[in-house]
Amino acid sequence: MKSPFRATLLLSASASALFGLGHVASAQTPPPGAEGTTTLPKIEVVKPRQTQAPRRTQKRVVTTRRAAPPPEAPPPTQAQVLTTTNEKFDTARQNIVAPVGANAHQVNHQAIEAMPQGADAPLDKVLLQFPGVTQDSAASGELHVRNEHANVAYRINGIMLPDGVGAFGQILDTGIVGSLALLTGALPAQYGFRTAGVLDIQTKTDAFDNTGKVSMYGGSHGTFTPSFEYGGTVGQTQYFVSGRYFQSSVGIENPTSSYNAIHDNTSQEKGFLYLSTVIDPTSRLTYIGGVSNSTFQIPNNPGQTPSNTAFGVSNFDSSLLNERQTEFNQFNVVAYQKSFEDIDMQVSYFNRYSQLHFYPDTIGDLVFNGVASDVYRQSVINGIQEDTAWRVGYAHTLRFGFSVSGERSLVNNISTVLPLADPTDPSAGTIDAPFSIFDSNAKTGWLIGTYLQDEWRINNQLTLNVGLRFDQMYQYVDANQLSPRFNMVWKPYDGTTFHAGYSRNFTPPEQVIAAPVNLALVQGTSQQPGTNVSSPVLPERSNVFDVGVDQKIHAIPGLEVGIDGYYKNARDLLDDGQFGAAYVLTGFNYERGENVGVELKAKYTNGNFQAYGNVAWAKQIATNVVSNQYLFDPDELAYIASHYIYTDHAQTWTASAGASYLWNGTRFSASMIYGSGLRSGFANTDHLPGYTQVNLGVSHDFNIVAPNKPTTVRFDVVNLFDSIYQIRDGSGIGVFAPQYGPRRGFYVGISQKL
């Protein structure tokens, strides 16, 4: 086969010969001797330029450039893993004691900080901003939930904190609160004994990043309160510790309307410790402990008229009285929590030691009251509590548990008294021959409770919670009760929640306020009662009905409103009061009682603006005193036996409101409380005038140390308009002395994040 190049060369030569194409050399003269010879012309063929074969149309290959993989996130630190694990345990704990169907009002730590005084406000002042909570004097328990006297339980991280003996020293500090919920209404079966309200405190869970805070706060009335807190993580353990010191020249409410009280200094120390160790991914161990130590001067009311002669003294200046009271409280909780498969459980041991000592002014108290009582109360409580939640499929969650607590209480009363001139006629006066009598009661009592309930999710909108509770008390009176509970939660639309419930409640009296007295010791003395009957204090048995609805107003984003109504009828309704100069409470029962009320609430949030408002109407009435009748004069006792009267802590109208706005790093806040007046007069047939108290606050964060360690400066005004009002006027059942609300005060604080 000829090559293409060679074939092309031959064809070119032939064509050149025939057509004279190509390059032809010029003719040369033939050399001599070459005649007759034909010479062909010399042909020089030039190699043609090689042409390239036509390019094939190539398909364009589109290649996708692979994006560079994102940089791998750094693995979580041990502290972050531990925080995530603890958050799961916290969620599981909430499931264990979920208050399905109860009426709940909740605020978090940020909302508390947005109020005037923030975390420097005492816990009871924060609670006054909740719906249905009424202000009262320290001697009468500081506050009332839904017109109930005491009967409020405190739970920390789902664990019951047992009753103490303190009259007005608060063991818990607001600074420890991560979230605060007040549960009222028809409570589910896991809530027993104290059922007017449950203060459910969740401690801070965002304070374990090795940071803390030191604060200084103070101002009017000699108020000075430094505090600190610090939290961190060490290995598998999280910890949080806080402490506060408080001093003021108005420790208890002033009995006069003057700006400065007489003999009313207080000093208080509080400490709190939280430890949590993750044992493995399914279990953890937690310790919670707190301590408070407080001393109080009892304020004086000048200008009182002496009524007796004692130790030769018949003229005594009441402004010079020197009564004092000390209180000490301590509690410890150790809780083991376990979660596996569909079961969450927690078992805890709790302990509380509580002590109160009232020191009289012996001469002064005898001159004015005819008795000087040195009162000592002590209580030691140890107990175990266990709670379990078992998710049985999608629709049912069974909850069951028990609590057992034993209390050893001691009540001593050393009274210095005067003999009566005529034992048959106390109006004849006394003889100046003081002598002492000693009355003591010690008791070991037990409280036992157990429950079983089923939370049934019928569908995504409707949940039923049905339970049964059994309670047994062995105290000065032995009694028990089987109590059914029923709750329903219905969410027919997005943002709408109905709740309704019924609960049968069993409420034992606090053991220290139910201690009996020996009336034989005081016969023929200035302490001889007009009614010589002392029946034992009984447990209260009641039926509570509650219904309400919460609604998000979609037309106004950020607005939520709610209404709740309740009715309670009780047998052996519990009450207590201060029936002498000593700031201690003594319990008694009404044979029957009724409590009814309606609460309205609203909350609005829009960006940096927050506002809330609450209004409550309530009425509590009772009849016929059936225990500790010696506390009442005969005519008052007879009137109550034939009439329904208002209880002393019943207030018809109660309201609170507040707002805060964050503007360019500065937060402005305001709060208000209103009360129509507590009861007063013979058999509580009258009531005090209404009052309004307005507070203001402003705070700002400065980046002085570091951007992530702000320095917060705040300024607060309590009782902006210096409204002068009485909480108590010294009359009414169980009210010994008048008490006024706080006068206007200015306070400044500075805190530094560490």
Residue 151 has pLDDT above 70, yes or no: yes
Residue 46 has pLDDT above 70, yes or no: no
pLDDT tens for 179-188 read 889 999 999 9
Backbone angles phi, psi at 54, to 5 degrees: -55, 140
Whether 135 is covered by a domain: the verdict is yes
- H or E stretch at 618: strand 609-625
Whether 693 is covered by a domain: the verdict is yes
Backbone angles phi, psi at 215, to 5 degrees: -135, 155
Confidence band for 14, pLDDT divided at 50, 70 and 90: very low
Q: What is the pLDDT of residue 164?
A: 63
Average pLDDT in the chain: 88
pLDDT tens for 269-291 read 999 999 999 999 999 999 999 99
Residue 206 has pLDDT above 90, yes or no: no
From residue 401, alpha-carbon distances to 373, 384, 389, 390, 465 in Å are 43, 11, 9, 11, 16
pLDDT tens for 668-719 read 999 999 999 999 999 999 999 999 999 999 999 998 888 889 999 999 999 9
CA distance 378 to 442: 9
pLDDT tens for 332-386 read 999 999 998 899 999 999 999 999 999 999 999 999 999 999 999 999 999 999 9
Q: Are strands 666-675 and 691-706 parallel, antiparallel or unpaired?
A: antiparallel
Out of 47-51, 131-135, 588-592, which region has the weakest mean confidence (pLDDT)?
47-51
Q: What's 396's domain CATH number?
A: 2.40.170
Whether 63 is covered by a domain: the verdict is no
Task: Using the CB atoms, write b or e for 25-34: b if 16+ within 10 Å.
Answer: eeeeeeeeee
Backbone angles phi, psi at 724, to 5 degrees: -100, 115
Residue among 654, 650, 734, 723 nearest 693 (CA): 723
CA distance 568 to 545: 6
Q: What is the pLDDT of residue 71?
A: 67
Confidence band for 25, pLDDT divided at 50, 70 and 90: very low
Q: What is the pLDDT of residue 67?
A: 57
Stretch 387-411: mean pLDDT, rounded?
A: 95
- Asked if 105 and 99 count as a contact pair (C-beta separation under 8 A), the reply is no
> Which structure tokens are listed for 524?
């023929």
Q: What is the pLDDT of residue 654?
A: 97
Residue 10 has pLDDT above 50, yes or no: no
- H or E stretch at 9: helix 4-19
pLDDT tens for 725-751 read 999 999 999 998 899 999 999 999 999
Whether 219 is covered by a domain: the verdict is no
For residue 392, what are the domain limits?
78-204+341-753
CA distance 468 to 702: 54
Stretch 565-594: mean pLDDT, rounded?
A: 92
From residue 314, alpha-carbon distances to 70, 148, 370, 580 in Å are 91, 41, 12, 20
CA distance 650 to 234: 50
- Asked if 549 and 560 count as a contact pair (C-beta separation under 8 A), the reply is no
Whether 10 is covered by a domain: the verdict is no
Of 454 and 12, the structure prediction assigns the larger pLDDT to 454
Confidence band for 581, pLDDT divided at 50, 70 and 90: confident
Q: What percent of the chain has pLDDT over 70?
A: 89
- Asked if 111 and 140 count as a contact pair (C-beta separation under 8 A), the reply is no
Residue 231 has pLDDT above 80, yes or no: yes
Confidence band for 66, pLDDT divided at 50, 70 and 90: low
Whether 622 is covered by a domain: the verdict is yes
- Asked if 362 and 313 count as a contact pair (C-beta separation under 8 A), the reply is no
Whether 137 is covered by a domain: the verdict is yes
Residue among 462, 350, 340 nearest 389 (CA): 340
Residue 577 has pLDDT above 80, yes or no: yes
Whether 509 is covered by a domain: the verdict is yes
As for how many domains the chain has, the answer is 1
User: To 10 degrees, the CA torsion angle through 676, 679, 680, 685?
Assistant: 110
Confidence band for 68, pLDDT divided at 50, 70 and 90: low
Residue 29 has pLDDT above 70, yes or no: no
User: To 10 degrees, the CA torsion angle through 426, 428, 429, 435?
Assistant: -60
Residue 560 has pLDDT above 70, yes or no: yes
Residue among 237, 348, 232, 345 nearest 283 (CA): 345
Listed in order, strand segments (DSSP E) in 249-314 are 266-280, 283-297
Q: What is the pLDDT of residue 28?
A: 42
pLDDT tens for 97-122 read 888 888 889 999 899 999 999 999 98
